[in-house]
A and B are shown apart, each in its own frame.
Chain A
Amino acid sequence: MSRIVGIDLGTTNSLVAYMKEGHPCVIPGRNERTMVPSVVAMTDNGLIVGDPAKEHLTRTPERTVYSVKRFMGKALEDVQGELAYFPYSLTEQGGVIRIKLGEKSYSPPQISAMILKELKHRAEEHLGESITKAVITVPAYFNDSQRQATKDAGMIAGLDVLRIINEPTAASLAYGLQEKTQGTIAVYDFGGGTFDISILKLKNGIFEVLATNGDTHLGGDDLDREIANLFLADILSQHGIDLSAYPDHMQTIRLAAEQAKIELSDELNTQVSIELPGNKGRFTRKLTRDQLESLTMGIIERTLVPCRMALKDAGLTPDAIDEIVLVGGSTRMPLVRQRVQELFRKTPHCEINPDEVVALGAAVQADILSGGTTDMLLLDVTPLSLGIETMGGVMSSLIRRNTTIPASAKEMFTTYVDGQTGVDIHILQGERELANDNRSLAKFRLNVPPLPAGVPRIEVTFLIDANGILNVNASDMRTGQSQSIEVKPSYGLSDQEVEQMIEDSFKFAAEDVSARKLIETRLEAGALSTTMEKSLSEGGQLVVPEEITAIRAALSALATAKDGNDPRAIRARMADLERSAERLTVAMLNDSLTRGLQGKKVSDLT
């Protein structure tokens, strides 16, 4: 079986990992960093992803997408309350959000696919082979639409998504393998945009999830927002400027808030300094950890509610938890650790890097699927109850939340009117009494042969597979014939749309490749320039002034080429620069050798 990689498709950062000789490891990029910022920017030269795209957040905020995970499987009305925070323009088509980037609109799965492609490329470069299969993680509390959207993203990126697994359970696999964790554990996963709590029993290689709970709209983003709002209020009162009119400055504020939050995990206070628009000077202020904590306490407190509910569903008290594992960047905050410790009355574990542990676990799951690891097995649950709408708009539950998956339920349907030829079925997910208060997953029509009322007997099987995704089948009990069902997702792309997007993605692949080539060439050119500048300042005295002038000229020619859009021109200027600096390079090498040899006897050298 060909290699399967594990991918953590995060709100803020994404990672790819694989199993190397029985140990999971994260694949670093050329810059040695393991995390790819989940940011996609539309530039004049095409789409770019990750670190280079992050630079565009403040430059072209209206064309730079971040936190796209918050929009996966959602309609516009679901995110109405926070539209003001996003500088890019959102619309909706067929129950799916569309993000406008320049001339074109993209669905969240398409944007996520760009991030996935970047990770795929990274893995291919590192491993020197084509990668077509992956395990992708999602928050445990993701509903069916959000999971399906993630699977769609994988398909659009040219990946066969063999399994969607839950982030906290992935983390438990990494801990189980590396730290030999056993017993009843709680995984507290507080990431960039989502919060999950999962309670598992680890015994003899079986990872049995007892209960899970969470909030798919609660994460580091929300903490940053609280801090940013404080800064905005200060700027308004001190400088009389309403920054919300300046999308680029709003991004600067958001990033400064995030930075301050990160610094305050290690320091007790930090200094913020932000340039104001229109030459109004700078906004500076001190922020202490105490201030941060009183600002974010409410949000952190909100994570404890799902924790208590998960404990209750598992039928456990906090004392019954043997270990607590922390996952996600937001768990670096001391207040988070303190509150978790107070709830479970135990010191939480964080031996494995909380930013990487989910990707590592995904690699372990990938290895299980490819037959490498055979002693470990994850038995996960469905986070939300699944049901159908019945008479009077009430939801009738078919598969309860926290049921081990795969799980199935059968329901018999019949007709109420003579000759009725169809029965409409509305599938829901959620915990509320009324259908309207739950998430609509899909609607479909059962075809029924025209018979007297009550005679037809159609058995519908609802099956939640190991990915937590619903499959529906119907069979006529009278004829024994099964019927295929056209399920129209309430909040998702249709199969045809996904097909089209896959096609588009191939079509634009050429454009993407050239954009990537340009960015990479620019990065290399930048690195070369820096090295040369350094050589000039350190070894300038070793060559004649004419040489220095020539090198300077080559440097500025390269700088000009770098601003252009032609990677070949940049390459040519890079070669020119290297040629003109040849003598300097050789001279510096000789010089360091000579100095290295000084004071040493010939006998030491042989």
Chain B
Amino acid sequence: MDHPHTHSPNPRELQMARRLCWHCQSEVSGEYFCDRCAKVQPVSKETDYFTCFGFPRRLTIDQSKLEAKFYELSRAFHPDFYQSKSEREQTISLGNSATLNSAYRTLRDPIQRAEYLLDLDAGAIKEIRNSPPADLFEEILELQDTLNEYRAADRTSAIWQQLRAKLQAEQLTLEERKQDMEASLQQLFTDWDALQDRGDSTSQARTERDPLLMRMREILSNRTYVKSIVNDLVATIG
């Protein structure tokens, strides 16, 4: 696997340094406002959500710091505060606010955050597998049968009651399983961040890195699968 960003200086930072203000053409060194004319600058399309918030790319984030930064940037970008500004500034404000809101929505949820970061760091993680994970396969098949039986059964019959109880038990099991996965993920997140903190330029770090990524991918994908099954269950039995 190729990870260009780990070997060369971050191209984004270079680009930021050379950014010119759209209004006065002077160099913008500040985060989002021109030092000279104080005009708001558009958040570049290449800026990832972590950079947008000024956070390092880590899987563990302090929620209260994230919220505080979100509020601070909302105050800086929200269209409410650009009503008397030029049309260009209003457009930038709208675009920046939309980006900021997407970034916050993604980063505040640990799972979405992990999927996003893995996407950034290791390509397409979002490819959700169509086939159920091996260890769940048998169980899921049986569950599908029960669900079909339940849907077809007469609501007043004893068998309907039995099936319902069985499905409810199954739901609990699956939810527990999902929680277990989330706990394992939490551990992997911590490991991943520790690896990042050490700096992953050593060859040893790189050999640790890939299995970790694979493992996280696998659990994330299995979790998505279990989650959709649980949703299906809840929708059926109410």
Contact = CB atoms under 8 A, between A and B. Distances in A.
Contacts of A368: 80
Interface stretch (A40-48, A399-407, A492-500): A399-407
Interface residues of A, number: 24
A365 B75 CA distance: 14
Interface stretch (B98-106, B114-122, B135-143, B218-226): B98-106
A466 B78 contact: yes
A402 to B, nearest CB: 10
B97 interface: yes
A147 to B, nearest CB: 15
Given A377-B78, A466-B78, A406 B83 contact: no
B71 interface: yes
Contacts of B71: 203-204, 206
A371 interface: yes
Counting chain A CB atoms within 10 Å of each CB, the highest count among B71, B75, B80, B94 belongs to B80
Interface string A123-164: 000000000000000000000000000000000000000110
Contact of B98 (A163, A204, A206, A463): A463
B80 A377 contact: yes
Interface in B61-76: 71, 74-75
Nearest to A402: B105
B202 interface: no
Nearest to A378: B80
Nearest to B96: A406
A408 B75 CA distance: 19
A206 B97 CA distance: 15
Contacts of A378: 80
Interface in A344-391: 365, 368-371, 374, 377-379
Given A1-B83, A162-B83, A404 B78 contact: no
A403 to B, nearest CB: 7
Given A204-B71, A379-B74, A404 B80 contact: no
A504 interface: no
Nearest to B104: A404
B98 A406 contact: yes
B94 A206 contact: no
B84 interface: yes
A1 B102 CA distance: 31
Interface string B86-128: 0000000011011101101100000000000000000000000
Contacts of A404: 101, 104-105
Interface residues of B, number: 18
Contact of A406 (B84, B101, B104): B101
Interface string A75-86: 000000000000
Given A463-B94, A465-B94, A407 B102 contact: yes
Contacts of B81: 371, 374, 377
A374 B94 CA distance: 18
Contacts of B133: none
A405 B80 CA distance: 12
A204 B71 CA distance: 9
A163 B98 CA distance: 17
Contact of B94 (A162, A204, A371, A406): A406
B192 to A, nearest CB: 26
B230 to A, nearest CB: 15
Contact of A408 (B74, B102, B104): B102
B80 A407 contact: no
Given A369-B80, A463-B94, A206 B74 contact: yes
B97 A406 contact: yes
Given A465-B79, A466-B78, A466-B79, A371 B84 contact: yes
Interface string B157-178: 0000000000000000000000
A284 to B, nearest CB: 47
Contacts of B75: 206, 377
Contacts of A466: 78-80, 94, 97
A404 B77 CA distance: 14
Given A204-B71, A377-B78, A463-B94, A407 B101 contact: yes
A200 B71 CA distance: 14
A465 B71 CA distance: 18
B101 A403 contact: yes
Contact of B101 (A1, A374, A405): A405
Interface in B187-237: none
B79 A377 contact: no
Given A1-B84, A465-B94, A406 B79 contact: yes
B98 to A, nearest CB: 4
Contacts of A407: 98, 101-102
B98 A408 contact: yes
Contacts of B99: 408
Nearest to B94: A406
Nearest to A373: B80
Nearest to B77: A406
Contacts of A406: 79, 94, 97-98, 101
Interface string A390-418: 00000000000001111110000000000
A465 B79 CA distance: 9
Contact of A369 (B83, B95, B98, B105): B83
B68 to A, nearest CB: 9
Given A1-B84, A204-B71, A206-B74, A403 B79 contact: no
Interface string A461-480: 00101100000000000000
Interface in A31-52: none
A85 to B, nearest CB: 34
Nearest to B84: A1
A378 B74 CA distance: 10
A116 to B, nearest CB: 20
Interface in A407-461: 407-408
Interface in A204-249: 204, 206
A408 to B, nearest CB: 4
20 contacts: A162-B83, A204-B71, A206-B74, A368-B80, A369-B83, A371-B83, A377-B75, A404-B101, A404-B104, A406-B97, A406-B101, A407-B101, A408-B95, A408-B98, A408-B99, A465-B79, A466-B78, A466-B80, A466-B94, A466-B97
Given A403-B101, A404-B101, A407-B98, 7 more contacts: A1-B84, A377-B81, A406-B79, A406-B94, A407-B102, A408-B99, A466-B97
The 7 A-B residue pairs with the shortest CB-CB distance, nearest first, are A408-B98, A404-B101, A406-B98, A406-B97, A369-B83, A466-B79, A206-B71
Interface of A: 1, 162-163, 203-204, 206, 365, 368-371, 374, 377-379, 403-408, 463, 465-466
